């Protein structure tokens, strides 16, 4: 069988797949979702066996990193069976298709329940979305989250042997006064921190133009109090890292707006409905659910994938402040695409 790799038309090789297992979440973060969300009917969501089949096909064609996302992935019923199935692709013999890493992004609300099982499935690293250490502010940002529960999940993950990276969306006038506190706290618990510029995706009921905070400004502010030593360290994603001299932990910066990371993009996203998005910042996508449910074999499925990847744009088209009727505006929510 042909297991040829998947290059795009700019010579970038696809090695990283982010797969959403659900559009549902138990929070409604102000930069991600509207407060009154309408979630997809079950019939439109791929079953776990369907997701497993598609992911396996990608792995056979060169994907080495698989990140499970949502919504909140841990709210999906029986999701641990998916992790265990994907974990079987880890630690394959040299020269055979397989994964180098299986990870997930979570809000940690259910991480205390699943941390040991995730480790048993082969997960060794998790990203946790956490935008404030102040309980009242955390509740406002998430609209319904409980900080104590999230912190319990982070504690359980570390006790289970999972490395933790804290993902914080930097928002002007919302949490920009907490970055020093977050750095110090991450140093205390032994976690890396990654700051992320807000991205204009979907209507959330919040004005992200007012909340947009360039990380170039944030970094200059941080350097007044912290020693940031540039690192070549990479996890396969878009973050660019520095070592914090005072804590020894890493801090990452994801800057889609001030300095995009498209030139080395090796990623695509598979939504829970089977749509393949080759760029987070474009509306274009390819439906894999229809041919999958029509009974096409893996070779035919990968023909659709290969054609989609060859249409992958050179760079994203995000722009803060686009008019609502601008045809280039990305209207889908992050939770639909997969975080």
- Where is the binding site for S-adenosyl-L-methionine, in residues? 31, 71, 129, 199
d(Cα 14, Cα 4) in Å, to the nearest integer? 11
Contact 275, 289 (CB under 8 A): yes
CA torsion 84→86→92→94, rounded to 10°?
-160
Residue 104 main-chain phi, psi, to 5 deg: -150, 160
Contact 22, 272 (CB under 8 A): yes
d(Cα 158, Cα 53) in Å, to the nearest integer? 31
Q: Which residues make up each annotated binding site for [4Fe-4S] cluster?
A: 25, 29, 32, 262, 265, 279
**Cα 322-282-62 angle, rounded to 5 deg:** 155
Q: Which residues make up each annotated binding site for GTP?
A: 18, 67, 105, 267-269
Residues 6+ apart with CB under 8 A from 296: none
Q: Which residues make up each annotated binding site?
A: 18, 25, 29, 31-32, 67, 71, 105, 129, 199, 262, 265, 267-269, 279
- One-character DSSP codes across 83-112: HHHHHTTBTPPTTS--BSEEEEEE-STTHH
């Amino acid at each position: 069988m042909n297991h040829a790799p998947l290059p795009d038309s700019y010579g970038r090789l696809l090695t990283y797949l982010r797969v959403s297992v659900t559009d549902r979440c138990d929070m409604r973060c102000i930069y991600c979702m509207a407060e009154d969300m309408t979630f997809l009917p079950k019939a439109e969501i791929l079953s776990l066996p369907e997701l497993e089949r598609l992911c396996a096909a990608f792995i056979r064609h060169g994907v080495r990193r698989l990140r499970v996302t949502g919504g909140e992935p841990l709210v999906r019923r029986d999701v641990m069976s998916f992790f265990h199935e994907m974990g079987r692709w880890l630690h394959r013999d040299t020269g055979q298709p397989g994964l180098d890493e299986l990870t997930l992004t979570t809000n940690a609300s259910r991480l205390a329940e699943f941390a040991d099982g995730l480790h048993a499935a082969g997960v060794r690293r998790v990203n946790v979305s956490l935008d404030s250490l102040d309980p009242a502010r955390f509740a406002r940002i998430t609209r319904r989250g409980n900080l104590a529960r999230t912190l319990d999940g982070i504690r359980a993950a570390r006790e289970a042997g999972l490395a933790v990276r804290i993902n914080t969306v930097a928002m002007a006038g919302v949490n920009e006064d907490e970055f020093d506190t977050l750095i110090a706290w991450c140093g205390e618990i032994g976690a890396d921190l990654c700051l992320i510029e807000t991205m204009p995706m979907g209507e959330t009921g919040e004005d992200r133009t007012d909340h947009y905070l360039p990380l170039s400004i944030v970094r200059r502010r941080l350097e007044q109090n912290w020693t940031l030593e540039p690192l070549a360290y990479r996890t396969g994603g878009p973050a660019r890292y520095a070592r914090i001299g005072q804590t020894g932990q890493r801090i990452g910066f994801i800057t889609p707006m001030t300095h995009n990371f498209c030139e080395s993009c090796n990623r695509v996203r598979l939504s829970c409905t089977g749509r393949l998005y080759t760029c987070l910042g474009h509306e274009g996508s390819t439906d894999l659910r229809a041919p999958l449910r029509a009974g096409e074999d893996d070779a035919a499925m990968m023909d659709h994938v290969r054609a989609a990847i060859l249409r992958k744009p050179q760079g994203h088209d995000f722009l803060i402040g686009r008019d609502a009727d601008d045809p280039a505006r990305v209207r889908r929510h992050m939770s639909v695409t997969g975080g």
